[in-house]
Chain A
Amino acid sequence: MSEPVRRRAFLKLAGRVAIGSIVIYGSPAAVMARLGQSTEARPADADAGPPGYNPKSHQWVFIVDTARCIGCGRCVRACKEENHVPMDPRFNRTWVERYVQTADGEMHVDSPDAGIHGFASFEANREYADQDITKAFFVPKLCNQCEKPPCVQVCPVAATYKTDDGIVLVNRDKCIGCRYCIQACPYGARYLDPDEHVADKCTWCYHRISRGLMPACVAVCPVGARKFGDLRDPESEVSKIVAQLRLYVLKEDLGTRPRVRYTQLDEGVR
């Protein structure tokens, strides 16, 4: 019994085991199927949204017209109401920034309480009272739903993923709250949900767009600064804008290929 197993004998045995297991399980694919669930074995409705919604037939795009935004902050409030985002100004799925360039060439950026109460307060404008302003504009921001999302790449537990229609979502049951995706997002679009300690982000109101509604922020925008639609529909407003106007994305050099496009974006916007 205690005789040491010789190398040749061990290799022979190992070979038999390998061949035997292939015979028993049929193929490596079958092994994988038993380990987990193969793609075919998944229930058909696992990826399905509401009835009649086919994610593969849509190519959503979000367009922000910075020349129209008046900085009223209704989008920020509507988003929080719609998606039950904490009212604490530190946690936002969307927010509005204001860029003010003064005559000395300096660019001032502010976003009081993420812009939820607008920018009309005395405190927000005190520093500009006796300044010469060369240009000033608002920039609404939200998740860019990148085609190459760094946040998905870095997630150690694959809890965040991209849907077939290009929306980056978080599985709150899988997320371990490590904040790595929050660090990885170059746009600061993610935050840690203070109640459940999982990553949270803009979904472009996935529950609304899959029902044919506009995202909440788009629906309440009083000046049409936020537009949303399907590039697969050549008659949609966004298709015409994409076809006709010059559009810009944030931090193009990072290669994330954002799906939020801005008209008249200024060089100073980061």
Chain B
Amino acid sequence: MSHLSRAGVLLLLVVGAALAVRAVTGQVSIPLIGLVRADNAAHWASLEPRLGNAALCAKCHSDVDMQWSKSAHSGQTCEACHGAGDRHMAYGAIMDPAKELCVTCHEKIPGRPATFAQIVKLDHFPLQACTSCHDPHSPAAAFPQIPHNVEGRQDCLACHGVKGIADIPPNHANRPVELCLGCHKPGDRNKQ
């Protein structure tokens, strides 16, 4: 065997050995042969979710659910405003009323899509709390909720027929006054 061919064989052997080492120690094959068992996807998948679903909240808070599910905020989950409910469910921790202010979403600032409902708080009753007119669970009710006793006030239209005092919606036109209390229960809310 000539020196040249011997050197060639040696070179092939070295290249082959290098490739073999690379195949064994390469990034793909290390986990494959099990020297390093990094894949712990099962562990990540086994973590317990914290944020639940609104159906659980509604089991107890059905009154709020009734309002909320018909409102413009019905697309929000309870926990979006009130935070994770797991501690509340586990040992009755008190939930925050709401972790953010209305203006966090509804203040008019650069970047917000024009189609989204926005106000400039400085121009929109700056000294009043949003909740004095708007109920976050039913925000579309943009007029003040003035609960009052109905005793002795049979004629709702005496006040509500007048423009400006909780106007009657257009689709209520010509409805007789006797029908009002069939749907509306003023005074129920705060028993004033």
Name A residues whose Cβ lies closer than 8 Å to a Cβ of B: 32, 35-39, 41-42, 45-50, 53, 55, 67-74, 77-78, 81-82, 98-100, 117-120, 124-125, 128, 133, 136-138, 152-153, 157-161, 163-164, 167, 169, 171, 173-174, 203, 205-208, 210-211, 213, 216, 219-224
Q: Are A153 and B33 in contact (CB under 8 A)?
A: no
A211 to B51, CA, bound (A): 13
Of B27, B30, B38, B77, the residue contacting A171 (CB under 8 A) is B38
Most buried by B among A120, A163, A174: A120
Residues of the B chain whose Cβ atoms lie less than 8 Å from the Cβ of A45: 42
Of A100, A153, A174, the residue contacting B36 (CB under 8 A) is A174
Q: Are A49 and B113 in contact (CB under 8 A)?
A: no
B89 to A: closest C-beta gap in Å: 14
Q: Are A70 and B113 in contact (CB under 8 A)?
A: yes
A88 to B: closest C-beta gap in Å: 17
Q: Are B51 and A133 in contact (CB under 8 A)?
A: no
A239 to B: closest C-beta gap in Å: 22
B152 to A: closest C-beta gap in Å: 44
A81 to B81, CA, bound (A): 13
Known: A36-B35, A39-B34, A41-B34. A169 touches B40 (CB 8 A): yes
At the interface, is chain A mostly helix, strand, loop or mixed? loop
Residues of the A chain whose Cβ atoms lie less than 8 Å from the Cβ of B75: 222-224
Contact size range, B: 35 or more
Residues of the B chain whose Cβ atoms lie less than 8 Å from the Cβ of A119: 109, 111
Residues of the A chain whose Cβ atoms lie less than 8 Å from the Cβ of B44: 169, 203, 206-207
Cβ contacts B116-154/A at 8 Å (1 or 0 each): 100000000000000000000000000000000000000
Instruction: Answer yes or no: B172 CB below 8 A from chain A CBs.
Output: no
A154 to B47, CA, bound (A): 27
Residues of the B chain whose Cβ atoms lie less than 8 Å from the Cβ of A124: 109
Residues of the B chain whose Cβ atoms lie less than 8 Å from the Cβ of A136: 110-111
A213 to B79, CA, bound (A): 15
The 6 closest A-B pairs by CB, nearest first: A49-B45, A37-B34, A36-B34, A207-B47, A220-B80, A118-B104
Q: Are A55 and B110 in contact (CB under 8 A)?
A: no
Residues of the A chain whose Cβ atoms lie less than 8 Å from the Cβ of B27: 152-153, 158
B3 to A: closest C-beta gap in Å: 16
Residues of chain B in range 96-113 having any CB-CB distance to chain A below 8 Å: 99-101, 103-105, 107, 109-113
Q: Are A206 and B50 in contact (CB under 8 A)?
A: no
Instruction: Answer yes or no: B49 CB below 8 A from chain A CBs.
Output: yes
Of B37, B50, B104, the residue contacting A82 (CB under 8 A) is B50
Q: A35-B33, A119-B109 are in contact. List 13 more A-B contacts (CB 8 A).
A: A71-B111, A81-B51, A120-B103, A120-B104, A120-B107, A158-B27, A206-B45, A207-B47, A216-B49, A219-B79, A219-B80, A220-B79, A222-B75
Instruction: Answer yes or no: B8 CB below 8 A from chain A CBs.
Output: no
Of B40, B76, B83, B101, the residue contacting A173 (CB under 8 A) is B40
A49 to B49, CA, bound (A): 14
Q: Are A32 and B110 in contact (CB under 8 A)?
A: no
Q: Are A222 and B38 in contact (CB under 8 A)?
A: no
A161 to B40, CA, bound (A): 9
Known: A55-B41, A77-B83, A118-B104. A82 touches B51 (CB 8 A): yes
Q: Which residue of B lies closest to A154 (CB)?
A: B27
Residues of the A chain whose Cβ atoms lie less than 8 Å from the Cβ of B99: 77
Residues of the B chain whose Cβ atoms lie less than 8 Å from the Cβ of A167: 41
Residues of the B chain whose Cβ atoms lie less than 8 Å from the Cβ of A164: 41
Q: Are A163 and B41 in contact (CB under 8 A)?
A: yes
A164 to B116, CA, bound (A): 39
Residues of the B chain whose Cβ atoms lie less than 8 Å from the Cβ of A46: 37, 39, 42
